[in-house]
Amino acid sequence: MQGLIQRVTEAKVEVEGKVVGQIGQGIVLLLGVEKADTEQTADKLLHKVSNYRIFTDSNDKMNLSLKDIEGELLVVSQFTLAADTKKGMRPSFSSAGTPEQANTLYQYFVAQAKVAGLKVATGQFAADMKVSLVNDGPVTFNFAIT
């Protein structure tokens, strides 16, 4: 499972000109599902995203997590994160999960994030989305969870 997180002061997702998900301070997670991914993989990524210390404390050090600051999480499905870009000039998506598997794990991840007490907004799976955000820092991290 691939996850790209960005620390943001605000973010939103629009589909056909309508806002479908919006957050204030928190994290935007672009989520890519691969064939080998399971619910356990999603659980590991959720633990990492919600506890990763990327927010600054009173000493201006990155010591606080999303949970610590009671921030919000915007989860956006991102098929292209599963791309293999090692060869040639065109990405290969052979390791990407099927749309059914990806949607199931995406929905599972969102549900588990809510169970964990996070404030969660989402994009719309498989839609043509327009994502707008203000990256704070900028701070961006990529996770590959197996």
16-26 confidence digits (pLDDT tens)? 999 999 999 99
Q: Assess whether the previous peptide bond of 138 is cis (omega < 30° from 0).
A: yes
What is the rounded average pLDDT of the residues 78-95? 93
Looking at the DSSP bridge assignments, the partners of residue 121 are 74
Question: Residues for the chain: how many in total?
Answer: 146
Neighbours of 80 (CB within 10 A): 12
Tokens linked to 14:
């629009």
Catalytic site positions:
78-80
pLDDT value of residue 72 = 98
Query: Which of 40, 143, 122 has its CA nearest to residue 73?
Result: 122
pLDDT digits (tens, 9 = 90+) for 10-57: 999 999 999 999 999 999 999 999 999 999 999 999 999 999 999 999
Cα 116 from chain centroid (whole Å)? 15
What's the rounded Cα separation, in Å, for the pair 76 and 6? 12
Q: How many domains does the chain have?
A: 1
Range of the domain at 31: 2-144
95: domain CATH number? 3.50.80.10
pLDDT value of residue 40 = 98
What pTM, to 2 d.p., does this model score?
Answer: 0.96
